[in-house]
Amino acid sequence: CPNLIFVEGRMEAYKEASENILEIFRRYTELIEPVSIDEAFLDVTQNRLGLRFGVDCAKAIKKDIRKEVGLVASAGVSYNKFLAKIASDWKKPDGLFVIHPAKAQNFIDKLPVKAIWGVGPVTQKKMDSLNIHTCSDLRKQSLFFLTEQFGKAGLSYYNYARGIDERPLRVNRIRKQVSAEITFSKDLSDLSDIQEGISRVVCQLKERMTRRQFRGFSLTLKVRMSDFKTFSRSHTFDHILEDPQEIYEESLELLSKLDLSKKVRLIGIGIGSPLEVEQEELLPFLEF
């Protein structure tokens, strides 16, 4: 493709938009489980605005996102995560879909099995071989048969086909890593320039660690070469990594283990293995 144009991603802009949307979510509820940079589950049973129905919260949130962030958002409303997720995908890119408890089973029965969490191409092929094509077909199977065929996942498939999903909303999820990275305006070959780039990344990283009150034991260095091949090296320490000078020096040590015969395009550094233990709260869903 001689006329192919590469467009650089703008991760900082995406993160900023994500944070702005998260702030909008917080106006309505504290019970938020972020799933990715552009996806989250919300429990709005007891929402801050006192709105009676989940669909009203979804409409208001969509409106706020469009007005304040300039983006469209799809929302799914239902009584558990499985159905809220399916509903949010139903009318993208600017959709709002509700799966009411009284109508859920009829809706689920018509779904292809590939709509179920955990059913990828390999599992779908196996289900096809068992003549299980829709969730209605799946619901006809016994729990014994499904666990015999699919192991522990068989119980989930059995429940999903009946609209049952008891997974909790994980609210106080502990951040597992804080990282920062820089994509250079031109690829670097000089070692001193690369070291200067690492120094800049460390400064950004330390600022984020301080802002998020994050402390960890492991260090990961990511380096992307001019041919877009990406390499990483990690090391876990017996003490907390907080000092920027130590992070810089240990990053150089990891860098020395990489082949730098090609030019460097991107450098990233992450601190992981946090002190805190992940917590959960059992709570009953909007999905954006």
Residues 205-264: pLDDT tens digits? 999 888 878 889 999 999 999 988 899 999 999 899 989 999 999 999 999 999 999 999
Mark whether 33 is an active-site residue: no
* Distance (Å, whole) CA 276 – CA 217: 11
pTM (global) more than 0.85? no
Which of the residues 8, 23, 39, 287 is marked catalytic? 39
Identify the CATH number of the domain defined by range 177-274: 3.30.1490.100
Whether 278 and 210 have beta carbons less than 8 Å apart is answered as no
Residues 53-111: pLDDT tens digits? 999 999 999 999 999 999 999 999 999 999 999 999 988 889 999 999 999 999 999 99
CB atoms within 10 A of CB 251: 23
- DSSP E strand stretches across 9-137: 32-36, 39-42, 75-77, 96-98
Residue 159 buriedness (CB in 10 A; 0-12 / 13-18 / 19+): middle
